[in-house]
Chains A and B, each alone.
Chain A
């Protein structure tokens, strides 16, 4: 019976820590009017991953040690020819269902609360952002900047500014996976999906790879994200934008001239 009390106390402890975790799911700044600081999903991901890995490692090691000990302790020896498990009383049988259920549920909900909090970070995109639209196709990533500038398989972005991708596909399923930024989402015809990430270090390049089986050359569908300093980015963006305007107006003149003659 003393053991039972200990178990109940442990279960209660788990439940209390869970409610604290749920309380933590609400941002501290909520209702204060202060603008929330931008959270980097990649950093938050690493944090939660470490937490969950510690959690499951503890459970796994405890379970494995108990199993190994039982296998060793109750091996067949002279004088131990048959099993003699004690007959469980009705109360003990119920307790063996209820207590583990509460312990497992407490841990589940603890993980769920933290996971939900991180989910909000991934899905709520900061207002000050660079919006890029992405059309995927067999087998390339085609990016379009706000000024109409288009690039393929290479996305230049300024450091320190959140980047939002609005994605769709012109043929099969594709997936814009950036391992370094811990983010991916499918793109598909007929729907628009999104993801965002926070590039930080200027001068770095990050691999982009397709993570949804999209066809024969699936494994060759790759690109990169090039992070520039904000100044370099602005210079590049303005230069390319100007070029784009020149070609645009040249094209307009070229098509407008014959129209005048006729």
Chain B
């Protein structure tokens, strides 16, 4: 193994693995930040730091790193890079060197995000960076701006690359309705990235202009408007939720179809109803993040209706996923265990989002732990479980070796229990009025025991994740040889050797007239 070969690689599989390593490092660091916050909150008053700014920096980096440097790169970087060319039967992506540039930029972004802990005045603006605070703080808002811009660039050029790859490089015979659901989901996610990331880039650039160059975009005393930023920010950041949601649901579809040895239930409903529906609605629901921000009343009511309508495409995708189990032949290896776990976690997360779509209920629930619990269930935990499921699932393909099944299952159950302790309690005290982003909660002494329970839960949940990651590292180094297709999947990525060589197949594959990636039953 040669380090230089890895750094200068243009092979989509190696680029993908570099994405995985970088995003897992980010996950570990952001996870440590979460643990620090939970320990800090386990008692009233100062616990491990007496400086609220320290806590605020942990909170900022936990949010920003988890979303921008872990979930989005793991899903649209690792999974998309590794799986899409293999799934569509291509030798590589359309622009391999652009792909390499994208992973380099990603690493620059991760390093920038990590430098947060070494600069004298780290950013303390939360991952949302709302002005006026972000333009008057002594914290280094420019760090935030540059981290977002660089990770955004990495994502955009990845998006262009994959859209081109899927449009032009499908294997002979592979029509649009023979694509894996994961490929469709990722296409949807990249369309959203291409449309909306530039808006986020604009928003965060304008804050730095305001702060360092004296412009007045968000300064009302000179004709600016505070709310403009929030609109720009959420115009991207709500679709960003679907940039995470779509690929992780795609991963689940692949896993569930394989382990149920079944075809995806109502493929066209999932693609044209579910995925297309989400892409269509993604850009017209952002005001539900601004229900208590002083927006115009008509916008709050209008976006209540569009937000509730999101339940239709999401519901169709869930029906497709659960329907795939019908008359299947299901086994419960670790990837399927994680995938089944997500079905329940996502159900809780999705349904607790319905009250948050209604402005009159949100007027109490907004900015409380209820919101934090909800989005952790629906996006953070469901997404992370799906990422873990996917890494376990494709582990034999990208390493050629097998992880340990016992430790895999144990890790799942520990994480699953810990997750529910933390985030169910969080929603419960949120409804009772515990506001989020609090370093201390002297005015709410009744929540001390709930906070201690959550700290305990987070330790359990952390142990489960550590077990999983150690299991991968040990498996990758000295696991038993896995074989080319240990799960007996019908999808194209399993037809090559494990790990696949540069160029993926000795000769380019083509698919038959009646082939689909889910054709388990001979007809």
Q: Is the CB of B361 within 8 A of A45?
A: yes
- B442 and A220: CB pair below 8 A? yes
Which B residues lie within 8 Å of A71 (CB)?
A: 325, 330, 340
List of A residues within 8 angstroms of B316 by Cβ:
97, 100-101
Instruction: Tell me the chain B residues, 474-520 only, with Cβ under 8 Å from chain A.
Output: 520
Contact status A209-B304, CB under 8 Å: no
Q: Cβ of A179 < 8 Å from any Cβ of B?
A: yes
Nearest A residue to B438 via CB reads A219
Does A70 count as interface, using CB distance less than 8 angstroms? yes
Q: Which residues of B contact A217 (CB under 8 A)?
A: 52
The answer to whether A74 and B355 have CB atoms under 8 Å apart is no
User: A83: which of B128, B300, B343, B520 is its contact (CB, 8 Å)?
Assistant: B520
Interface residue tally for chain B (C-beta within 8 Å): 88
Contact A207 B444 (CB under 8 A): yes
**Is B312's CB under 8 angstroms from A105's CB?**
yes
In the complex, chain A residues 173-188 whose Cβ is within 8 Å of any chain B Cβ: 173, 175, 177, 179-180, 182-188
Known contacts A83-B520, A96-B269, A216-B52; A52/B133 CB under 8 A: no
For the side of the interface on A, what is the size category?
A: 35 or more
Bound-complex Cα distance A60 to B377 (A): 14
Contacts known (A70-B326, A101-B316); A172 close to B136, Cβ less than 8 A: yes
Name the contact of B367 in the complex, choosing from A74, A172, A175, A220 (C-beta under 8 A): A175
B435 at the interface (CB under 8 A from A): yes
Question: How far is B265's CA from A88's CA once the two chains are assembled, in angstroms?
Answer: 9
Provide the residues of chain A in CB contact with B399, threshold 8 Å: none
B43 within 8 A of A: no
Interface positions, chain B 307-328, Cβ under 8 Å from A, are: 308-309, 311-312, 315-316, 318-319, 322-328
Residues on the B chain within 8 Å of A210, using CB: 435
Check B521 against A84 for contact (C-beta < 8 Å): yes
B residues less than 8 Å from A179 (CB atoms) = 364, 432-433
Is B2's beta carbon under 8 Å from chain A?
no
A53 to B358 Cα, complex, angstroms: 13
Q: Would you list 6 pairs from A and B whose C-beta atoms are within 8 A, ordered by A residue?
A: A53-B355, A76-B261, A82-B329, A93-B266, A211-B292, A219-B439
User: What is the interface of chain B, defined by CB distance below 8 A to chain A?
Assistant: 52-53, 56, 124, 126, 128, 130, 132-133, 136-137, 220-221, 224-227, 260-263, 265-266, 268-269, 273, 292-294, 297, 300-301, 304-305, 308-309, 311-312, 315-316, 318-319, 322-332, 340, 343-344, 347-348, 351-352, 354-355, 357-361, 363-364, 366-368, 431-433, 435-444, 520-521, 523
